[in-house]
Amino acid sequence: MRFIDPHIHMVSRTTDDYEAMAAQGVVAVIEPAFWQGQPRTEVGTFKDYFSMLVGFERFRAAQFGIRHYCTMGLNSKEANNEPLAEQVMDLLPLFCTKEGVVAIGEIGYDDQTPTEEKFFRLQLELAKEVGLPVLIHTPHRNKKQGTFRSMDVIEEHNIQPHMVVIDHNNEETCKEVLDRGYWCGFTIYPKTKMGNERMVEVVRQYGSERVIIDSSADWGVSDSLAVPKTARLMLERGIAAPDVELVCYKNAIAVYAQSGQFSEDDWLNPPPVDQRSLFEGNSVLRGGQTPKIEEPDKEEGIIR
């Protein structure tokens, strides 16, 4: 079974994560623009970060056989610095149409302040202008209120639910999200929030339609293998394989393919891995390490 992790912050992870993910069947990842644990203070740091998402990180993932995509946005946690946020909004249109950008996100609420809402609304309008799906971050505090308010605001901007992933759901929010027609994302964290045991029961109760599982793995305590681990547990607990495939693979394709930048052919027919390759002079290898080199089979068009 193939897997997609449609919300993971690989800039914060190591090459060991890429190797382990590929070994477990992860073929593609989507990296939402996010905060780095410490608030940024200059617009140039956002520019360099966005450039890394569409540049080196895309290259680095490919060196381990994984297709890398990203979303662009001003996250809600940093939106409260209004002067800086205004500069970031000027910068965003330059990156939203880059290759591999599949959505605007992750955007929404953190503390649910008026300033957060201002930039949330501006980015919803940007998504409409560039024709991209939207990835919504729901707040960790007052989640139910923030989730429902997010959907109300989206509807005020006349964005159709099929273009929006509402992420970080739990049992308290998922029914309303699904009933209103949105894609319903669940983040699987170890020992907290929506663990994989609870996720099995959610799928058992609500089914697999418009349900998406991700890891949101980042610089904190998180698990880059959360998607394949949850898939295995669902199969062990009697969830049908077609349902597991939907929530761990096919649903992500359905929503993000609407960007025109996300295609199954990208990983079913990838270019061969050649770790001798460089990105602006940089390699994923260090001195004395043996590069992995795949050779395409000229007759059959496959990689060996």
Structural domains of the chain, with CATH: 3-275 (3.20.20.140)
Q: What is the DSSP string of 103-147?
A: EEEEEE-SS--HHHHHHHHHHHHHHHHHT--EEEEPPSSSHHHHH
Examine the pLDDT at 12 and tell me if it is beyond 50: yes
| Tokens standing for residue 208 | 């697999």
**Mean pLDDT across the chain, nearest whole number?**
94
Mean pLDDT over residues 210-232, rounded? 95
Q: Looking at beta carbons, which pairs linking 43-46 to residues 24 or more positions away fall under 8 Å?
A: 43/84, 43/87, 43/88, 43/91, 46/74, 46/87, 46/88, 46/91
Mean pLDDT over residues 202-216, rounded? 97
Distance of CA 264 to the CA centre of its chain: 16
Residue 302 confidence (pLDDT): 47
- Residues 78-137 have pLDDT tens digits of 999 999 999 999 999 999 999 999 999 999 999 999 999 999 999 999 999 999 999 999
Mean pLDDT over residues 11-20, rounded? 96
What is the percent of the chain where pLDDT is above 70? 96
- Residues 261-276 have pLDDT tens digits of 999 999 999 999 999 9
Residue 215 confidence (pLDDT): 96
DSSP state of 11: G
Mean pLDDT over residues 53-70, rounded? 97
Residue 3 confidence (pLDDT): 98
Examine the pLDDT at 299 and tell me if it is beyond 60: no
Q: Is the pTM above the cut of 0.85?
A: yes
Q: What is the DSSP string of 37-79?
A: SS---SHHHHHHHHHHHHTHHHHHHHTTT-EEEEEE---TTTT
Residue 191 confidence (pLDDT): 73
Burial of 152 (0-12, 13-18, 19+ CB in 10 A): exposed
Examine the pLDDT at 288 and tell me if it is beyond 90: no
- Half-sphere exposure (Cβ direction) of 39: Cα atoms closer than 13 Å: 10
